[in-house]
Amino acid sequence: MKLLMDMHTHTTYSRNGHGKNTIEEMVNQARKIGLKGLVISDHGRSHPFYGVRKTDFAKMRQEIDALNRRYDDIEIYLSVEANITGRGFIDIEEEELKYCDWISCGYHYGFIPKNIKSFFDFLLPNFLAMLLPFLRPLVRGSNTQCYVDVMEHYPIAMITHPGDKIAIDIEPIAKKAAEKNVILEINPSHGHLSVENIKKAMKYPVCFAVNSDAHSIDRLAKVTGAKEMMAAAGLPNERVINTCPFVEEMK
Ligand SMILES: [Zn+2]
Ligand SMILES: [Zn+2]
């Protein structure tokens, strides 16, 4: 499967060696393999090890603007993969939002919760449910509502790997995503959306995207397994906004 645009990639702005290549290196690799668009989406800043520094947003914006001026064969966008930091909260503020073309959000381990209440009503229950899987049904309802609320309160363009590391019900999330024009990601490196959840989500008029979540140039646009997941779910190419309809395989 060939992508037209990879909408979820990380650079060295995901700190401490988490992202391996600079924005410019990622852009040049994207051009080399024929992508027409690239979204740089480093981790939101509430992650104490990987997160983008608040002061980096302006620098990233400048770098991307300069690269867009230099190259006319690719469009580069600045995003951030914000962390969900509590029930209905993500870690991006107006001040940072103004630098981004659009934002995505996802659930990750290791974030700093929004506040003490978020520690007790979101981080801790999900931490316990990770350790003791029989608790997962108990957190599913509030987690689902949390995704619905963040779509209601923030201008989110895409939810990354829904259902990865966290118990959710995809149907209310897909319904809200369709209403708010939020894309649901099929992320083969995380295995989410799962085939089962793609099947449930596609009952609603929601858009999907397939992304690499590359943290280095060698992983850019590599989405091995996505085609099989789509086929198993019966999801047609036309519902995935960033695949190239005429080219079946990456070279
Ligand atoms: Zn992620
Ligand atoms: Zn990511």
Lowest pLDDT segment from 102-111, 116-125, 238-247:
238-247
Q: Is 233 exposed, middle or buried (0-12, 13-18, 19+ CB in 10 A)?
A: buried
Cα separation of 197 and 144, whole Å? Answer: 13
Q: How far is the CA of 106 from the centre of ligand 1 (A)?
A: 6
Residues with Cβ within 5 Å of ion ligand 2?
81, 213
Average pLDDT over residues 163-187: 97
Per the structure, the count of domains in the chain is: 1
Which ligand ends up closest to the CA of 219?
2
Q: How far is the CA of 193 from the centre of ligand 1 (A)?
A: 12
State residue 1's pLDDT score: 85
Which ligand ends up closest to the CA of 190?
1
Q: How far is the CA of 19 from the centre of ligand 1 (A)?
A: 12
| Residue 247 lies inside a defined structural domain of this protein | no
Checking phi first, is residue 17 left (phi over 0); if not, alpha (psi -120 to 50) or beta?
left
Q: How far is the CA of 18 from the centre of ligand 1 (A)?
A: 12
| Residue 251 lies inside a defined structural domain of this protein | no
| Residue 167 lies inside a defined structural domain of this protein | yes
Contact 181, 151 (CB under 8 A): no
Q: How far is the CA of 248 from the centre of ligand 1 (A)?
A: 26
Which band of pLDDT confidence, cut at 50, 70 and 90, is reported for residue 84?
Answer: very high
State residue 142's pLDDT score: 96
Q: How far is the CA of 81 from the centre of ligand 1 (A)?
A: 7
Q: How far is the CA of 181 from the centre of ligand 2 (A)?
A: 20
Task: Give the domain extent around 174.
Answer: 5-239
State residue 19's pLDDT score: 95
Cα separation of 188 and 212, whole Å? Answer: 7
State residue 246's pLDDT score: 57
| Residue 20 lies inside a defined structural domain of this protein | yes
Q: How many residues does the chain have?
A: 251
Residue type, 108: H
| 3-class DSSP assignment, residue 223 | coil
The structure tokens listed for 117 are 């209440």
Cα separation of 222 and 130, whole Å? Answer: 28
| Residue 199 lies inside a defined structural domain of this protein | yes
Q: Which residues contact 190 (CB under 8 A, 6 or more apart)?
A: 161, 164, 213
| Residue 246 lies inside a defined structural domain of this protein | no
Position 155 pLDDT exceeds 70: yes
Residue 35 DSSP label: -
Which ligand ends up closest to the CA of 14?
2
Q: How far is the CA of 187 from the centre of ligand 2 (A)?
A: 9
What CATH number does residue 147 fall under? 3.20.20.140
| Residue 29 lies inside a defined structural domain of this protein | yes
Q: How far is the CA of 92 from the centre of ligand 2 (A)?
A: 16
Q: How far is the CA of 18 from the centre of ligand 2 (A)?
A: 10
Position 251 pLDDT exceeds 70: no
Average pLDDT over residues 176-187: 98
**Strand 75-86 and strand 37-43: pairing?**
parallel
Q: How far is the CA of 66 from the centre of ligand 2 (A)?
A: 24
State residue 56's pLDDT score: 95
| Residue 30 lies inside a defined structural domain of this protein | yes
Which band of pLDDT confidence, cut at 50, 70 and 90, is reported for residue 250?
Answer: very low
Q: Is 251 exposed, middle or buried (0-12, 13-18, 19+ CB in 10 A)?
A: exposed
Predicted confidence (pLDDT) per residue in 188-237, tens digit: 999 999 999 999 999 999 999 999 999 999 999 999 999 999 999 999 99
